Amino acid sequence: MMDIRPVLFVNGFLLLVLAAAMGFPAVVDLRADDGDWKVFAVSAMATGFVALALVFGARPKGRPSLTPRQAFMLPVIAWLLTATFAALPFAFSTLRLSPTDALFEAMSGLTTTGATVIIGLDKAPKGILLWRALLNWLGGEGIIIMAVVILPLLRIGGMQVFRMESSDKTDKIKPRITQVATAITLIYAAFTALTAVAFWAAGMGRFDAVCHAMAAVSTGGFSTSDANLAHWNTAVQWVAIFAMLVGGSSFTLWIGPWKNWRPKVLDDAQTHWYLMFLGAFAGVLALWQWAVNDMSPGVALRHAAFSVTSVVTTTGFVSTNYSAWGGFAHVVFFVLLFIGGCTGSPAGGVKIFRWELLFAMAGIHLKRLLHPHGIFVIHYNQRPIGQAVLDSVLGFVVMYFFTFAAFALALTMVGVDLVTALSGSASALGNVGPGVGSTIGPMGSYRGLPEAAKWILSFEMMLGRLELFTVAVLFSRSYWRE
């Protein structure tokens, strides 16, 4: 039987971090003379008690280490446990969310999806607003660490390309995983602080600036207003665009060696594709708004750039109701739900890296039609890509779209209309947040969905966040065999 003590031991430390984080909204509510500070205090004590029980009760002998089977289980248990305890303040605060809504909100925050069931954010307690932002921020960092440390070891979806223990020692970002994690945390915190200052300078209040900075850099998308970023001025929206751009980029390359004060991320092929996707779609939609919907060029460019960046980076911020842009825009935004940000970022979706390899494989097949006996090799950053990586990417993409279709079908079975089911499934799996249509569109809410639909979407958010196979492998018979 598999020893799960190392898994529980690590999860104990994660719950300790969550318990400590609950102290911040407790202090905010206490200073605002809001009674919800007691809810956060009690939730922190309960979470801390369970965390300490796991740390001391499941401590393995010797230095903790994870086998591949334990590594598959670790992130799944982590997201389930943290989401469950993170839901406590939502359930017992003055919002009085139902258990379903509380877990949905917590899972949405930790997976940086940004889908919400809360209405009346402008008048909500500051502690709850800060807690939502903290969940985005903590979940975003956890996702980056998982993408750098765990997924490459498990060879999920071609992620072995980004394994730190590469045989090419000259390209190692840092010699030890702990140093990588520390460096990522520092750069992540630095970008968050810079974004908060920029939001404040652009006209936001200090509290809103901090909350939106955490939501932007983590690509989480939780806002402090029902109107989202449409509540603030043009300068704030431009700051958000650049913050989301950074959030969707590869953090592992920001900490890599700089040459002539130029970060390595700017020379990465994935970054070039990332900017190309954003520029192309933003340009097309801006032109559409100007030519068809009579929007002025400046406003069209701003809203198109904001909306495309928000959806591609899976942040989910909103500057305007793009559901009113017409059928063409609806199709474009539905397609964008599947793109995703860069590998090594907190963004969800299929990811730019995989799309780059898929297009390269399509090009190779076309060449083989003309030159059946030719030998063609796919390169990434001037390096040849092995067949095992290509097979992993193909397997992941097939699994991704199969999962999307299956969950869309499940949503229709519990009473959700077709448009909401399709866009809701795509949004949850890609951790985007808003979908398409009037119900869960940019100015909509998930609150009115049936409870069964919320449970389905919550599970799908976790599936998408953990790159599908991490969860799917636990349901295989061979995983549980000795």
Look-up: residue for tokens 């970008």? 191
How distant is the alpha carbon of residue 346 from its chain centre?
5
The DSSP code for 59 is: P
Q: What is d(CA 212, CA 220) in angstroms, rounded to the nearest whole number?
A: 9
112 is in an annotated binding site: yes
432 is in an annotated binding site: yes
Q: What is d(CA 345, CA 112) in angstroms, rounded to the nearest whole number?
A: 11
CB 337 within 8 A of CB 428: no
CA-to-CA separations, 29 to 37, 119, 361, in angstroms, rounded: 5, 19, 54
CB 367 within 8 A of CB 339: no
Q: What is d(CA 22, CA 160) in angstroms, rounded to the nearest whole number?
A: 35
314 is in an annotated binding site: yes
Reading the block at residue 1, the tokens are 């039987």
Taking alpha carbons only, the member of 353, 350, 370, 387 closest to residue 464 is 350
CB 320 within 8 A of CB 307: yes
DSSP letters for 267-313? G-HHHHHHHHHHHHHHHHHHHHHHHTS---HHHHHHHHHHHHHHHHT
CB crowding 431-446: b at 16 or more within 10 Å, else e: bbbbbbbebbbbbbbb
How distant is the alpha carbon of residue 360 from its chain centre?
26
315 is in an annotated binding site: yes
Q: What is d(CA 219, CA 276) in angstroms, rounded to the nearest whole number?
A: 19
Q: Which secondary-structure segment (H or E) carries 261?
A: none
Taking alpha carbons only, the member of 174, 158, 161 closest to residue 268 is 161
470 is in an annotated binding site: no
228 is in an annotated binding site: no
Annotated binding site for K(+): 112-113, 220, 314-315, 431-432
Annotated binding site: 112-113, 220, 314-315, 431-432
